[in-house]
Chains A and B, each alone.
Chain A
Amino acid sequence: MSAKVEIGFNLNGAQRTVEVPREMSTLDMLREVIGLTGTKYACGEGECGACTIIVDGRSVNACLMFAPDCDGRSVTTVEGVVDTPLGERLRDAFVQAGAVQCGFCTPGMMVQAKHLIDMHDGKLGREAIKRGIEGNLCRCTGYVKIVDAIAAAAQPKG
């Protein structure tokens, strides 16, 4: 039988304690144990970015991260991202730029976009944005408007 591991971590700003099987992915923990469904499963192998989350300030694929490894760390999902001023700006930019079609890749794109903007100090050109989202697949938009949205959100207003 797989051991259960009790872990405590900061999730979107609040402390959480959960018990998870040692082999469970962080994606399954978020979706099945905690019930936060904004983080999407689309490949389970780190090839599509739909499950992107931020852990201790760095974006990772939740599907590749063992849930017990969240212990003691700070985890931000799309639900947490949109609660920040940058996240709101990103959401508005995605909406206004037409970067959302079926929307399934969008939460992962939003989180990766936040990471990308956080890691750059304002200077974020289109080519850097494209490289920055190379691990996020989108089948609907052709990426143009996603790049538009991230470029717009990267420019702080005022």
Chain B
Amino acid sequence: MNLRRTAAMSRKEFTQVRRDPYSLIVVLFLPLVQILLLGYGARLDANHIPVYVLDQEGSQDSQALLKAFQASPYFDVIKAVDNYHALVRAIDADQCKLGIVIPWDFSERLADAGRTSVQAIVDGTDDNSAQLAEGYAQAVVATYASNVQLDWFARYGLSQQATTPLSVDYRTWFNEDLESKNFIIPGTVALVMALMGALLSSLTIAREWERGTMEQLIATPVTALEIMVGKLVPYLAIGLADATLCAVFAVGWFGVPFRGGSGAFFLATTLFLIVILGIGYMISVATKSQLGASQYALLVTLLPTSMLSGFAFPIDQMPAPIRAITYLVYSRYYVSALKRIFLSSAGISDLVPEVVAMTIYALVIGFFATRAFHKSLQ
């Protein structure tokens, strides 16, 4: 490989990116837009879930339960209605996400049997929010129930000491506040790298064909390997710069911690970019059309990175067959590395499995990419 020719190719490619408005948008704005959108938009927490209540009893007990809901930061009790029909209409009209129905015999049954129930109607159109609302509602009711139980034990003379329910003190590590932004934003870097890398690299060869410059290029002594390396090196550099930008933004704007080593961050990002750029390049060679190439490239890079990498959907909650497939998705190793670099203090030595897996991918993709292009018009 001749370095002078490779450098000439890199310089030309970089100049073209600098002059192309489309490429500049991809390089400069896409990362920021992505991280802002996902940082703000893809919060998986639910706060202030709007609630309607139908208190058919209106007793002291039922009011106490509703107060528990009111006191919770997760719920806003917006309105009390007086019939079931009004409650259903409110859910249909999307005025509330949760409806709570306290039956007319609530406190009577509580007193008689010590067992009673309330009905919670959850708007399930958004499955994620519905699950959260349901979970929070159960928590509120459980707290209320245990208070009632404690009162009951106390009233019947049982020792407080003996009956205090086992209390579980949760402590979550690495994401103490259990904030979804800490879970989402590190993975966003992977999404930005996949999107940017695929969009830019998929154009490289196709653009030469479409603009008619390929014929001239083939007629020079530059080799296929020099073309590939020369074309992709600028995008690797741009990718690393964008990754840094994303990390700075994640920490500075969203307050996501960055506890791991920056060496590990750049190593993992470089390996991931090699895979993404190699794939984009091969697609560009195969399709010879910029539009087709960018679409295929997004399909094979962005889609698995957003769906199967554990970026937003935790891998251990996936069904077993899908979970097995994720081991083949190169992005899962990068996302896993990113999360650990940001949230735990992982350095390179802590990320051996991820680094090994990504190195294997980078070598395999790199090998095939060097063989993809032949200097011929046929």
Q: Do A and B come from one complex?
A: no
